């Protein structure tokens, strides 16, 4: 797969699953999406390459043919251009740049964006740039990176804390068992002394009776 050895930033979601991964995609120049960066999720179907892959934007993008909430790209748009002869790198080199440069408002997944694109292209571009700034800028990626770093740190601290508490619990348990054994031994010792006194008293009484 050419995509994995290309200049694109590709991350497998599961190291044991080559059919699902995230690719960092940069918005094409000379478009309202210029300067933006998106994490694009790619899922390969069992029938790949005869069936087109599923493509979805992880961070939000404002586009007539992309669902703003889910990030899904219109399948009709993909299927119209897909061929088994294509490699996945064609999606990021050709398909997605063309889609962002030349939307098809006649087949929308975001009707609001399609309507604005048709009626007021300048306002459409302005709204796209606002979305890029909020959801696809370097500042956005830095924020996500910091959140991921903090989450990893918290998970590590919780893991270490749990292990420490577990060790302390075992120490307390061992101390408790030792005390219990000690108390039991003391009780057994006292019982033994009582048991020895009883027969000794009985032998003395028998001797006195014989002497009489």
Question: Is 74 an active-site residue?
Answer: yes
Q: One of 42, 74, 77, 99 is an active-site residue; which one?
A: 74
How far is residue 167's CA from residue 171's CA, in Å, rounded to a whole number?
6
**Residue environment code for 58-88, b if the CB has 16+ CB neighbours within 10 A, otherwise e:** ebbbbbbbbbbeebbbbeebbeeebeeeeeb
- Is the peptide bond preceding residue 199 cis, with omega within 30 degrees of 0? no
Are 59 and 134 a contacting pair, CB within 8 Å? no
Dist. CA 190–CA 195, nearest whole Å = 9
Separation CA 98–CA 27 (nearest Å): 10
Catalytically annotated residues: 74
């Amino acid at each position: 797969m050419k995509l994995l050895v290309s200049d694109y930033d590709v991350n497998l979601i599961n190291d044991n699953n080559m059919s699902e991964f995230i690719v960092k995609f940069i918005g094409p120049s000379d478009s309202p999406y210029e300067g933006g960066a998106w994490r694009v999720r790619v899922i390969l179907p069992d029938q790949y390459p005869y069936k087109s892959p599923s493509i979805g934007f992880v961070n939000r993008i404002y586009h007539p043919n992309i669902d703003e909430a889910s990030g899904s790209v219109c399948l009709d748009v993909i299927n119209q251009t897909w061929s088994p002869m294509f490699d996945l790198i064609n999606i990021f080199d050709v398909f997605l740049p063309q889609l962002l440069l030349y939307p098809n408002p006649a087949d929308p997944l975001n009707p609001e964006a399609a309507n604005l694109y048709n009626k007021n292209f300048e306002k459409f571009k302005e709204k796209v740039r606002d979305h890029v700034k909020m959801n696809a800028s370097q500042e956005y990626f830095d924020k996500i990176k910091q959140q991921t770093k903090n989450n990893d740190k918290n998970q590590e601290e919780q893991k270490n804390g749990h292990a420490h508490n577990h060790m302390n619990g075992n120490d307390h348990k061992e101390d408790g068992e030792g005390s219990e054994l000690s108390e039991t031994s003391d009780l057994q010792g006292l019982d033994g002394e009582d048991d020895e006194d009883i027969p000794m008293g009985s032998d003395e009484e028998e001797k006195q009776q014989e002497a009489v």
